[in-house]
Structure formats: structure tokens, C-alpha cells
């Protein structure tokens, strides 16, 4: 009697004296299941009808498959997460004696993942291996401590990561944290991972400490998995605390139709610490979007947004790349207020507490030299950068096309024809910027302005017009989206 040839694990109707199909289950079935499942059938022999024997065999096969699946779950799933699958409570800890060569540490049921290049190690400031290679993680179910309930909301646990004092990753990695799944995906771009050297503990409750030393690490959000991933390197302090915050605030600029359209780009970049309210110390709840952006801030936006590591700060005038001076202050010493106090604010020279883009460890000269060395924005022939100068729209187009590595059309005549088809003022675009303007427009990185003529189907580019902060932030957001940096 010949039966159908369906998969044995699915309960095929095999005859009594047939062997199971050759495959990965053959040995398991013949050596383990057969003595148990087949023996009762042989003993009963012809006392049972064939269809009843097949029912027994089918049931035994299903039971065996179920046992195998359960064993796989019990023995392999916890190992995949790298930590116990037990419920996570405040104070739960997990540690490793050395960095796993696999390049990944996962803790607290996958709520924290530290990834890094394989075969990494912990080193000191001289890039020499430290004796203590251990890394410890502790999770605290936060009891509050938002930075500012009007602007930032804590939406994750607080995680403590500890290494030896003065230890760093030889090769920087990435930190992924899970945040509250109830956060609306529509505002996922407004999430960022924050770092703090300390936390406040009151009656056993851990609260975020926003007093000083906070750094916004930013991050790319995966709203489907409710996770955010940011570049990671140990601070050198040995202990650091990390959490996810949602930034939400309405600035008065958004009420102005001239700049309100930029809010969807301004809030994410502000949330991730790439731009800030200027001038520093203003209390009118305006972001400062109407201000024409200067070369320093635009270069800084791009360096931070694209994740370029900062160059080392020059220690003397002879080490600086650019020769700008601001009164008696040399560029390598300059703070924002020295460069343009009206733009940045007179108090932007010695700040403490809170989070600022420029501080003692992130000087204007570092952002400028990093931008220049990475080909983002260049200086002038007299070896000056002129960071306080405004930036025109056509200059911005050249910078964007360079950063995005866009292919430029080398036929000048075709470029002119295409630009004339799109813009009313194409003849005003400088020859050195024409191909870049066309490429940036085609890549949807920069667009024109509506024509004053309602009947015109063309746009106005305004090549010599100054770029506003609203426009600069929007362009930075677009290039980050294109390069998958946000």
C-alpha cells in the first residue's frame, strides 16, 4: 500500500513498515522515536486498523517536533540576546570580562546593544591596551528627571555603562537603546540619545541630572523597532549614563509662514543637538530662523550632521590652518562671541551647564578645520576662512553637491539650457556654481522660490541671496536624509 509523499514532520500517511524520509530528522526518528512510537504499534499488530496506527504515528511525530522546538528556545534564545531573559528590574546588572570578538554586546533582553568593529579592545589615551578589559551595564527604571518638561521628555530607562577610568574603545562603535513604544512614529526624528556623567538618586529613585556635562549623541531612529542608534565612544571618565529623550517645543518662528515650513527639519536637528537657539540667552521663544546663516554655523551643522570626527584643537597660532583674527583674539583661541557676538550672543564665550554646540572641547576652529579638511567648505586665497561672513544660496549649492558627491554636467551650454528651463533668473547664476545648482536641484537638495508672476511655471533661484538659518537647517536635514544620517 503506497501513501502520499508529504513531509514526514507534517504527519504524512506512511505505511507501518516504511522508513521515514532521508533528511535531518532520520537519525532522531529511527534511534529515538522509533522505539517509543513504533513499538506500541508493533505490539498491537493487526489488532488495530491501519488508519488508527497512522494516527498514533502522526501524533508521536508532532510531539517530537514540539520537544525539539522547546529545547531550541530554552538553550539558544537567551544566548542570542547575550543576557538573561528574566524580567528586567531597576538595578539589574550585566557584565563581560572582555569585549566579545563578535563585535556586539546585548543586554537586558536586547534593550541595550553595544556594537563595534570585531576584535576590538579597550585602550588608554595613548592607544595602548588597558589591564582591565571588563565592561559593566546597569539599568535603572527612571523615576523622572526630565531635562525640561516643556522641551524634553525622558522616554527610556537610564543605562549606566562602566569601564576602567581612562579607557576607550580602540575603534568607536554604536549604541542602540530601546525607547517607549508608545512614542508616535511621526515624531521619531525628534528622539536622541543623551549622555550624562552623573545621575541624581533620591529615595532609591534614579533621575537624570541635567546640571552639567550633558552631551547629545543624537542617533538614527528605527520607529518600527522603537530603537535609536548613535555613534559611541567611552568618555574617559569610567562611568557614564545614557537615556533617550524626545524633544518637543513650539517656537514662535513657526507661526510665520515665511519660515514655518521649516519646522519639520528644525525640530529634529535641534533635538539631536546639531543646531541651537541663537543668539544665546534669548527669552522670546524664537529660534532665530530669519537670521542669515554665517559660514561658521553652516560648516558646524554639516560636520556634526555628517558625523565627522573633530580635528585636534590647535595649541598655537603656528598650528592653525586659517589666519583669521578677531580683534586681538587669534582663531585657535576664539569663542563664538569673539567671532560675532550679535549672531551668537555676548554670553557665548564661557558657558556652563546645559548643552551647547561650542564649548571648551568643541571650539569653532575645530569645526572649521574639520570642514575644510573633509572638503565641505573651503577658505579664501589669503588663508582666511571668514567664519562671520554670510553664505549665498549658490555657494550653498556648491557645498551640497560636493558633500553629496553629485555628478556634475560638464557641458556648460546644456547646463545653461536646463537652468533656463527651471529658473527665471538662471542668467544670474555664476558660471562656477551653475553645474552645482543644477545637480543639487535635480537631487532635490535645494529648490527655488515661487515666482512673483502667478502665471509663470518657473521658479526663482535667487543665487546671490543670503541663506537664512531656516534654509540652512533644511538643507542640512535633506543631505542627512539622503546620506541616511537621520
Closest by CA position to 459, among listed 472, 474, 478, 444: 444
Residue recorded with cell 508672476? 453
- 267-285 pLDDT tens trace: 999 999 999 999 998 999 9
* Cα–Cα distance, 456 to 439 (Å, whole number): 23
Cβ(192)–Cβ(245) below 8 Å: yes
Cβ(9)–Cβ(29) below 8 Å: no
Mean pLDDT of the chain: 85
More confident residue, 200 or 472: 472
The segment with the largest mean pLDDT, out of 50-64, 343-357, 375-389, is 375-389
Cβ(471)–Cβ(262) below 8 Å: yes
User: What average pLDDT does range 159-170 have in this prediction?
Assistant: 97
Evaluated on CA atoms 162, 163, 165, 166, the torsion sign reads: negative
Which residues contact residue 64 at a Cβ distance below 8 angstroms, ignoring those fewer than 6 apart?
28, 29, 32, 33, 37
pTM: 0.79
* Cα–Cα distance, 319 to 200 (Å, whole number): 41
* Cα–Cα distance, 416 to 245 (Å, whole number): 47
pLDDT of residue 66: 59
Cβ(178)–Cβ(81) below 8 Å: no
At what angle are helices 295-306 and 469-482 packed, to 10 degrees? Answer: 20
pLDDT of residue 11: 40
Cβ(324)–Cβ(384) below 8 Å: yes
Tell me the three state secondary structure of residue 200.
strand
Dihedral angle, C-alpha 305, 307, 308, 313, nearest 10 °: 80
Q: List beta partners, residue 194.
A: 216, 243
Question: Phi/psi of residue 158, each to 5°?
Answer: -100, 130
Residue recorded with cell 576652529? 365
Q: What is the DSSP letter of 1?
A: -
Q: pLDDT over 70 for what percent of the chain?
A: 79
Which domains are seen in the chain, by residue range?
Answer: 8-81 (no CATH), 93-248 (2.60.220), 273-482 (no CATH)
At what angle are helices 469-482 and 263-271 packed, to 10 degrees? Answer: 70
User: What average pLDDT does range 118-137 have in this prediction?
Assistant: 97
The H-or-E segment that residue 363 falls in is none
Question: Phi/psi of residue 239, each to 5°?
Answer: -125, 140
pLDDT of residue 59: 61
pLDDT of residue 14: 37
More confident residue, 106 or 12: 106
- 459-486 pLDDT tens trace: 999 999 999 999 999 999 999 999 999 8
Strand 158-162 versus strand 239-247 pairing type: antiparallel
pLDDT of residue 212: 65
- At 76, the pLDDT band (50, 70, 90 cuts) reads very low
Which residues contact residue 55 at a Cβ distance below 8 angstroms, ignoring those fewer than 6 apart?
none
pLDDT of residue 18: 44
Task: Copy the grid coordinates of residue 415.
Answer: 547646463
* Cα–Cα distance, 37 to 61 (Å, whole number): 8
* CA neighbours closer than 13 Å in the CB half-sphere of residue 149: 2
Query: Over the Cα atoms of the chain, what is R_g?
Result: 31
- At 448, the pLDDT band (50, 70, 90 cuts) reads very high
Work out the end-to-end distance of the chain between its first and last CA atoms, rounded to an integer number of angstroms.
64
Amino acid at each position: 500500500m503506497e501513501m502520499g509523499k508529504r513531509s514526514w514532520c507534517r504527519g504524512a500517511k506512511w505505511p507501518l513498515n516504511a522508513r521515514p524520509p532521508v533528511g535531518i530528522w532520520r537519525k532522531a526518528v529511527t534511534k529515538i522515536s522509533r522505539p517509543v512510537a513504533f513499538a506500541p504499534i508493533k505490539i498491537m499488530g493487526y489488532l488495530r486498523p491501519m488508519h488508527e496506527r497512522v494516527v498514533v504515528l502522526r501524533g508521536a511525530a508532532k510531539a517530537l517536533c514540539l520537544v525539539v522546538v522547546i529545547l531550541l528556545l530554552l538553550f539558544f534564545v537567551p544566548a542570542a540576546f547575550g543576557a538573561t531573559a528574566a524580567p528586567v528590574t531597576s538595578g539589574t546588572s550585566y557584565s563581560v570580562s572582555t569585549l566579545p570578538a563578535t563585535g556586539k554586546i546585548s543586554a537586558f533582553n536586547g534593550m541595550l546593544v553595544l556594537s563595534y568593529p570585531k576584535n576590538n579592545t579597550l585602550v588608554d589615551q595613548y592607544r595602548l591596551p588597558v589591564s582591565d578589559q571588563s565592561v559593566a551595564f546597569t539599568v535603572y527604571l527612571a523615576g523622572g528627571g526630565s531635562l525640561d518638561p516643556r522641551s524634553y521628555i525622558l522616554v527610556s530607562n537610564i543605562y549606566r555603562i562602566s569601564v576602567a577610568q581612562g579607557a576607550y574603545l580602540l575603534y568607536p562603535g554604536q549604541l542602540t537603546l530601546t525607547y517607549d513604544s508608545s512614542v508616535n512614529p511621526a515624531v521619531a526624528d525628534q528622539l536622541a540619545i543623551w549622555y550624562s556623567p552623573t545621575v541624581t538618586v533620591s529615595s532609591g529613585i534614579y533621575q537624570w541630572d541635567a546640571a552639567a556635562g550633558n552631551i547629545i549623541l543624537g542617533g538614527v531612529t528605527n520607529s518600527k523597532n522603537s530603537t535609536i542608534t548613535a555613534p559611541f565612544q567611552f568618555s574617559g571618565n569610567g562611568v557614564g549614563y545614557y537615556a533617550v529623550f524626545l524633544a518637543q517645543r513650539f517656537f514662535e518662528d513657526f507661526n510665520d509662514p515665511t519660515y514655518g515650513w521649516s519646522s519639520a527639519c528644525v525640530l529634529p536637528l535641534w533635538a539631536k543637538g546639531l543646531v541651537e537657539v541663537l543668539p544665546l540667552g534669548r527669552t522670546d521663544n524664537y529660534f532665530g530662523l530669519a537670521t542669515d546663516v554665517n559660514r561658521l554655523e553652516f560648516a558646524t551643522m554639516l560636520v556634526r550632521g555628517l558625523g565627522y570626527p573633530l580635528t585636534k584643537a590647535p595649541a598655537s597660532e603656528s598650528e592653525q590652518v586659517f589666519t583669521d583674527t578677531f580683534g586681538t583674539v587669534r582663531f585657535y583661541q576664539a569663542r563664538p562671541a569673539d567671532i560675532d557676538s550679535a549672531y551668537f550672543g555676548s554670553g557665548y564665550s564661557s558657558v556652563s551647564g546645559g548643552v551647547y554646540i561650542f564649548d571648551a572641547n568643541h571650539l569653532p576652529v575645530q569645526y572649521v578645520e574639520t570642514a575644510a579638511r573633509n572638503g565641505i567648505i573651503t577658505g579664501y586665497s589669503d588663508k582666511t576662512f571668514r567664519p562671520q561672513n554670510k553664505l549665498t544660496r549658490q555657494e550653498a549649492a556648491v557645498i551640497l553637491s560636493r558633500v553629496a558627491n553629485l555628478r556634475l554636467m560638464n557641458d556648460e551650454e546644456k547646463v545653461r539650457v536646463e537652468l533656463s528651463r527651471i529658473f527665471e533668473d538662471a542668467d544670474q547664476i555664476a558660471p562656477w556654481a551653475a553645474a552645482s545648482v543644477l545637480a543639487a536641484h535635480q537631487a532635490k537638495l535645494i529648490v527655488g522660490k515661487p515666482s512673483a508672476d502667478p502665471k509663470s511655471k518657473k521658479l526663482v533661484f535667487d543665487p546671490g541671496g543670503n541663506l537664512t538659518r531656516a534654509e540652512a537647517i533644511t538643507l542640512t536635514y535633506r543631505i542627512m536624509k539622503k546620506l541616511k544620517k537621520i
